[in-house]
Structure formats: structure tokens, C-alpha cells
Amino acid sequence: MILDESGLEDLAVGAAMLGSGGGGDPYVGKLMAREALRAHGPVELVGLDDLDDDELVVAAGMMGAPGVMVEKIPNGDEVVRAVRSLGAYLGAPVKAVMSGEVGGLNSMIPVYAAARLGLPLVDADGTGRAFPEIHLSTYTIHGISATPLAMADEHGDTVIVDAVDNRRAETLARGITVDMGAVALVAAYPATAAELREAVVPGTIGRAREIGAAIRSAPRRDAPPVETAREAVGGTSVFEGKVVEVERRTERGFSTGHASLVGVDGYAGMRLRLDFQNEFLGARLDDAFVVTTPDLITALDPEDGTPIPAEALRYGARVAVIAIPCPAIWRSAAGLTLAGPRAFGYDVEYSPVEEGPASRH
């Protein structure tokens, strides 16, 4: 399968849907990927079974506070240097790149890197959504190390991190990211194709492109935009309302805060709070949780059904909120220990979104 410029718009919209409000706004990455595809030609999209067992694959992406990238746009050389530096450090050629997380910008950066480096892009990722920290990954559940990893910034700095475990990798890399200006481009989780086959969420790039195509075609089909988006992801409607408060700050290399919405139409008289740490982590309807991580929470523009990143929520905006079931691996005991609500400090038990608000705590 070939990924060319014509598929980027669909991929960007679909990846933002799977980003749970995070992973970075794909707009900047889409522009980068488009220019790389124009200059270097289309990228081959492959499965891990298309690669030899011993071929080295690395995850390429952005680490840091997504809101910062609105003003601090990468020039693209950063991720190329990161991938090349990691391969040189390992003494092995990188044979393919993939997305560490399918959400948002981090679906676009690997396309850019693959085009610039002339490498195939693996149709898989390490989360099936986006999460704010490196160690929150299916790689971690399967015992694959995030390090050695390479980090690069716009000044020409490149750093190799080799940590004792993935949580420590997050701590060390986060500090370096802050010193790099709250955003860094990263190549991480180096592993062979054989090691990755059971450790990743397969088919997510292709799925994101299909989701985006369905949403973008809704106007041509006179289909209701929010309902089209919900059906495309198998989601559940949570709320529709107007943003009346946004508290947002950049700290420790994250964009953190919350947004409050007052209900309209069928939700009139109700209030929803969305908490985020880069990604939306919890939704509370009148102070009771209706959705929590690891299920996905996505804010949509009611006019066209396109996703609104957490950093783009603004006072007065009208928003529809849906919830999307997470990949099954996150509902395992190991997945919930790593990325369930208690991992983020919420004193609440996880309840699958499809069971409905009545079962929530």
C-alpha cells in the first residue's frame, strides 16, 4: 500500500480522532509530511509481516507540550537526526519507522521521517490512541525497552538516553525535553520486526485513514457530521455544549488543565468537565465520571464532525463530546495498572465506556 499526498488529509483527521484530544495538532505535521512527499515521493505502508524478522524498526515522533508547537514549529531535520543518531548508536541500519502513538501530530511525523529517509512506514503503533508519557505503551506491557532513544531539537542538539526501565526513560527524557524548549523530536523503542509483532496495535494507520475518509465525506453525502464521526469509530455520545471555562498551563513538559462546558439541547442544565494532560483523561458529568482513561475522549466541531485538540478548546466554542472504546490490551490488568484512572491520580475504578454512565463511580 502506498501513502501519498492524497491520503494525508484523511489520515490527519482520523489520527486526531484517535488522539483523545492529544498527540499534538496534526496540522503542522501534515504540512511537513506533504512537503516531504512532494520532494521525495510516496511512502510505502507495510505490515510487520512484510519485514524480515531481524530488521530494525524505530518509533519516530514528538515529545513535549503540544501547545508549544503552535509557536515552535520544527524544521524537520530534528527527527531525521534523531533516527540516524539512534541507528548509529546501535550500530545497525534502521529499516522502517512507525508511530509510537497514532494520535494527532504523532501520526504525521513518522510519515515525514519515512519520506525523508526513504524508508517504509509500518501500519501499526504502540498505543492505539495517544498518551502523555513515553512509558504508557503496549511496548512496555510486552517488555520492550523505550531506550536507547535519541532526542533532537532545532538548535542541532542530539541526546541519547539509555535508562534502566521505561518509566525512568520518561523521567529523564521529559527533563531534557523541558531544556530543549518543551518540545523535542524523538526516535525511540528500537526493536526488530519479530519482537514487535505481538507488542503493537496493528493496522492503526490504515484505520485512521478510513475514519478520516468517512468524516470528510459526510458533507458530500449530506450525512450528520457528529453521528458520522461517532459511527466511524464505534463511539458513544457523551455531551454537547458550550465551553465556558478553560484552564491551561504548560508544566513539566506537558499541557495540563481542564475545560468546563454547559449543556445545550438534550444536555441543557448539565455541566461537563474535561481534564487533560496533553490528552483528555477524564470526563465528569455533573461531578460524576462518565469516561476515564484508557478509553478515548474526543471533542468534535458539531458543524463538520472534525476533532478539536485539547490545546484548541476556546471559550464560547460549541463542542460535541464522544467516547471511544480503547484497544482491548488496555483493559487487561497490566494495561489498567499502567494507564487506568488510578495511574493518573483519579480515585475511581475503570468502567468500560460502552457500559454507560449508570455504571460509573
Domains, in order of start, for the chain: 2-204 (3.40.1610.10), 226-359 (2.40.390)
Ramachandran angles phi, psi of 244, nearest 5°: -115, -10
Q: Is the pLDDT of residue 21 over 80?
A: yes
Ramachandran angles phi, psi of 276, nearest 5°: -140, 145
Model-wide pTM > 0.85: yes
Q: pLDDT > 90: what percent of the chain?
A: 84
Q: Is the pLDDT of residue 95 over 70?
A: yes
Return d(Cα 242, Cα 190) in angstroms, integer: 43
Residues 227-268 have pLDDT tens digits of: 999 999 999 999 999 999 999 887 777 788 999 999 999 999
Say if CB 273 and CB 260 are below 8 A apart.
yes
Q: Is the pLDDT of residue 17 over 90?
A: yes
Query: Edge to edge, what strands does the sheet with 288-292 contain?
Result: 288-292, 279-285, 271-277, 254-263, 236-251, 318-324, 296-300, 307-308
Whole-number average pLDDT of the chain = 93
Residues 201-237 have pLDDT tens digits of: 999 999 999 999 999 999 888 899 999 999 999 999 9
41: left (phi over 0), alpha (psi -120 to 50) or beta: left
At 25 the pLDDT is 76
Task: Name the most confidently modeled range: 23-27, 67-71, 123-127.
Answer: 123-127
